[in-house]
């Protein structure tokens, strides 16, 4: 999401370390727990090579909290160290939580993370950064939203402060009390100067801190070119003598929450995009410099760019740049008296991630799904699926319903996202296979609601029960296969029967979803009989139950033996084709379907002879 920092990876190498990592993840928003495969089982993300995994996280810019010896982190990451200004936070935590040591990225958030973790664990944050030890003032790690023009300008000022010298302080925008409250010694005649300003023209020999006090209000025509809005915004700021580093957010009417140009502008500036209803913007009409009846007739408020800028800065703010416009875009700027908390302004552009969490095991959940769950503000799903996610969604707003209430879950997800929340709608397996993704798009298609149409919707795949069952059994879907659901709640049995006959005649390996339930007992027997017309009774049938969860079982029976008593709603039934084989090698039994390599190898052998 725009303006969102990367979530931390809390890395454990042992079972005890995993428990500590879980505790740490609860106090770091969106944190993932990473565990060494075979030793720290049950982590959100499993890995096999510790050094390789840590280096990959560091290279991605991910904050790393290692529940391990500091030496492991130091030796592993040392070859990658190049630029302290851009390195992510790296912390080492003692196995008992007694010490939290920020090793790298102290002024990129590691020191703050160490203090938060230490407080939660009742341990000690071993902060060694000189600036933090002098009253807790870290000039190159200012409060959220604040920015530095030039990080290299920090060093001489920090050195002067450490030497006990005072500095000059010039503030012409925002509230710099975080500096003075930390004990900054101020002398207007001092050799070194700190400037807190939203102006573009500032002394070149000063340390310049940019307070997030400017709100950039924008409006666009539908499908306006992103470059046109970006150029207008930058020209507007430049002509007013304002720094884009002091912009706290891009604001507009909620009708524009799906406009690529608006979202791209926010992304380019590195700030959140926030939105207001037309009714909220209409309340700003008395403060507008250029109210427009034309805009009111089209949108429902007398000004979008000016109104959004003013709404973002609140009653104490002021319009400092009136509306400027091009053929397809408008822009205005307002200033707040204090730093703007962008997360408290209007609402975000709503998003819905429809995710498949796999059959159940954390190791089968994709990193993309884990990230989307970490980023979500709200998680919607059947209670069992939410329970499986456990600590990964701790602290988030969760919304659950019964198994048969699929439409209610999807509607709730769309409605929550329309309120500006980041919503994850959870399915087991893959969200697009007999799951909720299709229902979401069906509702979007059928109802064509404006608030839903503006949402950013994405589907993230998961490991399906089909894939998991095949992997556990061997390689039964190494050739052509299909899936058929035996539930006739939504599909007439006559249609299901037609598809089964076609699959049998085509000699497909067939995965049967929803094979039996308390009320449906005969469908599996009918499916078996249809298959027996076209393949031998000895055909292997895989019965995979509770995949990836406690009580997992993988059994193999012959097609002739198959009865409804072999399955329930937690079972996937996979029927082989005429070539599928069931073999025993060593102590293991496997099922596989030949692809045709044997004939190819024989041909190669003959040609070679």
CATH number at residue 311: 3.30.420.180
Residue 4 lies in a domain: no
9-12 sheet: strands from edge to edge: 45-47, 32-36, 9-12, 64-67, 90-93, 99-104, 124-125
Query: Last residue of a domain, which of 431, 463, 495?
Result: 463
* Tokens of residue 426, six digits: 């959870």
Domain edge (last residue) among 210, 228, 243: 210
d(CA 295, CA 323): 13
The predicted structure's pLDDT at residue 81: 87
Instruction: Tell me, yes or no, whether 57 and 113 share the same domain.
Output: yes
- Sequence length of the chain is 609
Compute the radius of gyration of the chain from its Cα atoms. Answer: 30
Say how far apart CA 163 and CA 10 lie, in whole Å.
Answer: 37
Instruction: For residues 339 and 376, state if they share a domain.
Output: no
Measure CA 140 to chain center. 27
Sign of CA dihedral 443, 447, 448, 453: negative
The reply to whether 390 and 413 lie within a common domain is: yes
Distance, CA of 590 to CA of 582 (rounded, Å): 6
Rounded to whole angstroms, the Cα distance separating 134 from 512 reads: 67
Spatial CA neighbour of 529 closest among 553, 507, 497: 497
Q: Looking at the structure, tell me whether residues 249 and 262 fall in a common domain.
A: yes
Residues 161 and 93 in one domain: no
Contact 241, 199 (CB under 8 A): yes
The answer to whether position 609 is within a domain reads no
- End-to-end CA separation in angstroms for the chain: 61
DSSP-derived secondary structure letter, 38: T
User: For position 20, which CATH number holds?
Assistant: 3.40.50.11220
**Same-domain pairing of 490 and 380:** no
Quote the distance between the C-alpha of residue 54 and its chain's center: 20
Statement to judge: residues 33 and 71 lie in one domain: yes
Among the candidates 171, 195, 210, a domain finishes at 210
Report residue 33 CA to chain centroid gap: 14
**Phi, psi for residue 245 in degrees, rounded to 5:** -70, -10
Domains: count for the chain: 5
Alpha-carbon span 218 to 478, nearest angstrom? 54
Using alpha carbons, list the distances in angstroms from residue 83 to 33, 53, 143, 154, 438: 26, 20, 22, 15, 46
Helix or strand holding residue 335 (H, E): strand 329-335
CATH number at residue 375: 3.40.1010.10
What is the 3-state secondary structure of 122-158? CCEECCCCHHHHCCCCCCCCCCCCCEECCHHHHHHHH
In a domain, 477, yes or no: yes
Residues in the chain, pLDDT under 50: 1-4, 133-135, 609
Backbone dihedral angles phi then psi of residue 484, each to the nearest 5 degrees: -140, 130
Q: Residues with Cβ < 8 Å from 488, sequence gap 6 or more? A: 496, 520, 523
Task: Tell whether 200 and 235 lie within a shared domain.
Answer: no
In a domain, 608, yes or no: no
> Which residues does 131 contact at the CB level (< 8 Å), separation at least 6?
107, 137, 138, 139, 140, 158, 161, 162
Tens of pLDDT, residues 503-558:
999 999 999 999 998 888 899 999 999 999 999 999 999 999 988 888 899 999 99
Nearest-10 Cα torsion for 112, 117, 119, 122: -150
What are the tokens at 380?
């919607």
- Separation of alpha carbons 340 and 249, rounded Å: 8
Nearest to 125 by CA among 146, 103, 145, 144: 103
With residue 386 as reference, give the H or E element that holds it: helix 383-389
The structure tokens listed for 406 are 């699929």
Do 66 and 161 sit in the same domain of this protein? no
Report the alpha-carbon distance of residue 510 to residue 503 in Å, rounded.
7
Q: Which domain holds residue 175?
A: 147-210
The domain that holds 582 is classified in CATH as: 3.30.950.10
Residue 308 lies inside a defined structural domain of this protein = yes
223 in the same domain as 179: no
Assign 455 to helix, strand or coil: coil
- Residues paired with residue 399 on neighbouring β-strands, in sequence order: 380
Contact between 176 and 169 (Cβ < 8 Å): yes
**pLDDT reported for residue 608:** 56
Same domain, 39 and 117: yes
Which helix (H) or strand (E) segment is 423 a member of?
Answer: strand 422-427
Q: Do residues 340 and 378 share a domain? A: no
Helix/strand/coil for 336: coil
Residue environment code for 578-604, b if the CB has 16+ CB neighbours within 10 A, otherwise e: ebbebeeeeeeebbbbeeeeeeeeeee
Query: Is 136 within the bounds of a domain?
Result: no
Per the domain annotation, does 551 fall within a domain?
yes
Using alpha carbons only, give the angle 184, 188, 191 rounded to the nearest 5 degrees.
Answer: 85
């Amino acid at each position: 999401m725009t303006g969102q920092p990367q979530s931390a990876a809390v890395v454990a190498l042992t079972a005890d370390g995993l428990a500590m990592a879980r505790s740490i993840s609860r106090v770091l928003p969106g944190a993932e727990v990473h565990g060494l495969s075979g030793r720290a089982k049950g982590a959100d993300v499993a890995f096999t090579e510790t050094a390789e995994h840590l280096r990959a996280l560091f290279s991605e810019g991910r904050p790393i909290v290692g529940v391990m010896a500091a030496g492991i982190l130091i030796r592993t990451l040392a070859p990658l160290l190049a630029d302290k200004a851009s390195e992510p936070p790296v912390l080492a935590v003692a196995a008992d939580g007694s010490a939290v040591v920020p090793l790298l990225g102290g002024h990129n958030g590691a020191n703050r993370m160490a203090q938060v973790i230490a407080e939660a664990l009742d341990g000690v944050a071993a902060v060694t950064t000189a600036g933090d030890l002098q009253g807790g003032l870290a000039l190159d790690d200012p409060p959220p939203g604040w920015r530095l023009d030039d990080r290299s300008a920090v060093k001489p000022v920090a050195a002067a402060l450490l030497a006990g010298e005072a500095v000059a302080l010039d503030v012409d925008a925002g509230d710099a009390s975080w500096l003075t409250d930390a004990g900054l010694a101020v002398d207007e005649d001092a050799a070194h100067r700190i400037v807190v300003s939203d102006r573009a023209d500032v002394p070149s020999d000063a340390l310049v801190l940019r307070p997030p006090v400017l709100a950039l209000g924008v409006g666009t025509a539908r499908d306006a070119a992103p470059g046109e809005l970006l150029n207008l915004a930058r020209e507007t700021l430049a002509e007013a003598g304002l720094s884009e580093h002091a912009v706290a957010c891009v604001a507009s009417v909620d009708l524009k929450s799906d406009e690529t140009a608006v979202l791209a502008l926010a992304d380019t500036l590195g700030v959140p995009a926030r939105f207001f209803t037309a009714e909220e913007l209409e309340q700003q009409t008395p403060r507008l410099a250029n109210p427009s009846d034309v805009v009111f007739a089209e949108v429902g408020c007398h000004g979008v760019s000016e109104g959004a800028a003013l709404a973002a800065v609140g009653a104490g703010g002021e319009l400092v740049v009136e509306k400027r416009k091009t053929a397809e875009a408008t822009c205005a700027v307002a200033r707040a008296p204090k730093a703007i908390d962008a997360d408290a302004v209007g609402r975000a552009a709503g998003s819905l991630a429809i995710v498949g969490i796999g059959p159940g095991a954390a190791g089968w959940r994709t990193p993309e799904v884990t990230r989307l769950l970490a980023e979500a503000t709200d998680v919607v799903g059947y209670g069992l699926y939410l329970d499986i996610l456990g600590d990964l969604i701790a602290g988030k707003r969760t919304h659950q319903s019964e198994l048969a209430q699929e439409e209610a879950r999807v509607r709730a997800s769309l409605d929550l996202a329309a309120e500006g929340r980041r919503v994850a709608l959870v399915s087991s397996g893959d969200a697009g296979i007999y799951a909720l993704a299709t229902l979401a798009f069906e509702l979007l298609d059928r109802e064509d609601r404006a608030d839903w149409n503006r949402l950013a919707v994405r589907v993230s795949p998961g490991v399906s029960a089909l894939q998991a069952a095949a992997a556990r059994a061997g390689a039964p879907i190494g050739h052509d296969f299909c899936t058929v659901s035996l539930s006739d709640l939504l599909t007439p049995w006559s249609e299901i029967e037609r598809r089964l006959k076609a699959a049998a005649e085509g000699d497909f390996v067939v995965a049967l979803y929803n094979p039996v339930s308390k009320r449906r007992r005969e469908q599996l027997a009918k499916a078996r009989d249809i298959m027996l017309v076209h393949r031998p009774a000895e055909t292997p049938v895989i019965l995979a139950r509770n995949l990836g969860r406690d009580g997992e079982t993988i059994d193999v029976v012959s097609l002739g033996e198959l009865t409804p008593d072999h399955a329930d709603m937690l079972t996937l039934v996979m029927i082989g084709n005429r070539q599928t084989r069931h073999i025993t090698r060593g102590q293991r039994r496997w099922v596989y379907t030949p692809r045709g390599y044997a004939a190819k190898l024989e041909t190669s052998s003959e040609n070679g002879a």
